[in-house]
């Protein structure tokens, strides 16, 4: 039986939907800045990511149980999701290690090139054409990236740039690999399995590098407690907003993530937001947004 369509009075208020979407997108940007602050108190990326992943896994599992939703996946999707979790953990380690060596604003821009690498990857796999619009977006984004990096290239650590680029390529690989799985099963169950194998990956890295690196002061403990909590709220808002807005619109709202990270990096980390760097960031974000808009119009 198909349920009746929701009446106007039953639909969520647009401001409520927008607020949930904003919290989800902005939350991810804030977390990166909080992570960089926590490093100053002795925390390292594997410790932070392990605690964040475990908190999210436990919280999501409890929510799915409370809602009476299934957790298990068919064997083929289960093993694929577990493998994707290992890839995602490696990518995230690169992204959160990059901010040790280069400013957060630049590392976020390097990571945010992943939609462009997705377009290139899909072209190489023969799944999508590289249209003139996508090619123009690629060239524009990389020009913006060059401007942002060139603003302070003399003082940048090559390790940070390399880790940032690897994180962007890695996330693109995860997106391409997970596309087939997410087209068949509930994304929340996939997220649960992905986070489980990711937690094990972080635990293995910690075992090889000397164990947990805990904060050395009270502010560090507050940051370490806040990051998993913000991440859980951001993820739940993200999935809720997808259900209200649809994946395409939520992807566009997701452009707030790098904007939020750059702004908070300027406010909390005193990173210099030079005009050249801001122009470069605008070119990268604008190119990705243009590609999303054109893709949505073609889909419609």
- Identify the band that residue 258 occupies on the pLDDT scale cut at 50, 70 and 90: confident
Of 269, 232, 228, the closest CA to residue 47 belongs to 228
Domain boundaries, the chain: 15-299
- Residue 107, pLDDT > 80, answer yes
Q: CB-based burial of residue 1 (10 Å sphere; 0-12 exposed, 13-18 middle, 19+ buried)?
A: exposed
Please, which residues have CB within 8 angstroms of residue 105's CB and are 6 or more apart in sequence? Answer: 148, 261, 262, 265, 266, 271, 273, 277, 281
Please, which residues have CB within 8 angstroms of residue 133's CB and are 6 or more apart in sequence? Answer: 290, 291, 294
Distance CA 219, CA 34 (A): 11
Contact 110, 161 (CB under 8 A): yes
- Residue 41, pLDDT > 90, answer yes
**Residue whose tokens read 């300027």:** 266
- Residue 51, pLDDT > 80, answer yes
- Span 65-93, pLDDT tens digits: 998 888 888 888 899 999 999 999 999 99
- pLDDT at res. 5: 41
Distances (CA, A) of 178 to 36, 62, 117, 130, 188: 28, 24, 15, 21, 13
Contact 292, 250 (CB under 8 A): no
81 compared with 177, residue with greater pLDDT: 81
């Amino acid at each position: 039986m198909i349920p009746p369509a929701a009446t106007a009075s039953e639909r969520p208020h647009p401001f409520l939907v927008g607020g949930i979407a904003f919290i989800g997108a902005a939350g991810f940007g804030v977390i990166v800045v909080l992570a960089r602050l926590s490093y100053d108190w002795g925390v390292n990326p594997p410790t932070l990511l392990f605690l964040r992943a475990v908190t999210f896994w436990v919280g999501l599992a409890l929510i799915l149980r409370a809602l009476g939703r299934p957790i298990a996946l068919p064997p083929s999707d289960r093993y694929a999701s577990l493998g994707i979790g290992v890839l995602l953990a490696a990518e995230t380690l690169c992204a959160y290690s990059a901010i040790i060596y280069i400013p957060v604003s630049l590392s976020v821009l390097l990571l945010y090139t992943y939609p462009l690498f997705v377009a290139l990857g899909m072209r190489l796999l023969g799944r999508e054409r590289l249209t003139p619009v996508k090619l123009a977006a690629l060239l524009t984004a990389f020009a913006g990236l060059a401007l942002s990096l060139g603003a302070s290239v003399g003082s940048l650590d090559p390790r940070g740039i390399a880790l940032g680029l690897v994180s962007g390529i890695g996330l693109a690989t995860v997106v391409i690999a997970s596309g087939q799985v997410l087209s068949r099963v509930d994304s929340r169950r996939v997220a649960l399995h992905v986070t489980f194998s990711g937690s094990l990956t972080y635990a293995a890295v910690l075992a090889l590098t000397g164990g947990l690196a805990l904060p050395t002061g009270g502010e560090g403990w507050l940051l370490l407690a806040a990051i998993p909590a913000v991440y859980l709220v951001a993820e739940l808002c993200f999935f809720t907003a997808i259900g209200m807005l649809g994946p395409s619109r939520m992807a566009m709202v997701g452009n707030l993530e790098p904007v939020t990270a750059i702004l908070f990096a300027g406010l909390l980390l005193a990173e210099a937001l030079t005009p050249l760097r801001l122009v470069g960031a605008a070119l990268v974000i604008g190119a990705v947004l243009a590609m999303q808009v054109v893709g949505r119009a073609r889909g419609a």
